[in-house]
Amino acid sequence: MVEILVLASKIYTGRRVLRGGYVYIRDGVIESVGEGPVPEDLTYAALVLGGEGRVVAPGLAVAADVAAYPFRHLFPSPERRRELYRAMGLEAQFAASLPAVYELHVHGVTTVFVESENSDLALKLLDSIGGFYGVAVNSCWGLEPPETPKALSGSVKAGGCGGPPMLESKPVYKPGLLGRPWTSSQKLREASGADGGFIEEGLKAELAVFDFSRPPGMMLDLFDLDLDVLYSLGLKVESLVAGDDVLVDGGDHLYIVEKHFKEARRLAERVLRKE
């Protein structure tokens, strides 16, 4: 049994704003959300996150070409990326994806729809890293989204040729590049059939904790921000919770580390030498 208590000066549930509140998570599901002092029976959680000056927001869902991350400065077209994925194979795609997933997670993304023709990469990320994943078939490929296992968040057709927007070979993988990050996230969830996007009792836990007790962003907890504005600031999260797992804490990822970055760099160097 995993119990997580998150404390905050402000909680954006996606429907309303709570001040001086808390979120209690048991076994990956939000059991209680409230304002004011934490009920005594919830104070014995194994892990306590957040605190004064923290703001809690719903985690985002984003579609992105994560396996093309090491080559993004070449701005490969959707068709070129499809060729790259087929040539790379699953293990190389996984290694190439980790820096992208890291960057998405530290900016508040809890559900990543990975650009792919099948579920293999999404399942491997789910099993190896944690968080939530789905499949994003690029709308320029002319393919229909595949059926996905129940463990995944579904599949969707996305990208520049139709459907929800996708982060496609951007130099920096920040949700703010989508213009209205939370609005785009909700549209993606709706199109894919994925649940979540709100901090409410009975829903799986997907939440980001921002530290506004010190710069950057100091004292922003004193003001009411639109969620699109909050995520457009491009600030890193202090903690990120997805289900019963804490993916980011203290501003850094707990599962994607330096060895993964080095492996992705070596892969990029090998591929670029062939270009």
The pLDDT score that the predictor gives to residue 267 is 86
Q: What is the mean pLDDT of residues 54-67?
A: 98
Q: Using 50, 70 and 90 to split pLDDT, how confident is the model at 275?
A: low
Q: Are 196 and 203 in contact (CB under 8 A)?
A: yes
Instruction: Identify the structural domains of the chain with CATH numbers, from first to last.
Output: 3-58+197-243 (2.30.40.10), 60-192 (no CATH)
Q: What is the mean pLDDT of residues 1-19?
A: 95
Residue 118 half-sphere exposure toward CB, CA atoms < 13 A:
7
DSSP secondary structure letter of residue 1: -
Pairing of strands 252-253, 245-249: antiparallel
Query: Nearest 5°: CA angle at 155, between 172 and 203?
Result: 85
Structure tokens at 36: 């004011």
Residue 272, pLDDT above cutoff 80: no
The pLDDT score that the predictor gives to residue 232 is 95
Q: Using 50, 70 and 90 to split pLDDT, how confident is the model at 253?
A: very high
122-149 residue pLDDT tens: 999 999 999 999 999 999 999 999 999 9
What average pLDDT is seen over the chain? 95
The pLDDT score that the predictor gives to residue 274 is 67
Q: Are 202 and 30 in contact (CB under 8 A)?
A: yes
The pLDDT score that the predictor gives to residue 257 is 95
Residue 107, pLDDT above cutoff 80: yes
In angstroms, what CA-CA distances link 167 with 23, 77, 104, 235?
Answer: 30, 12, 10, 17
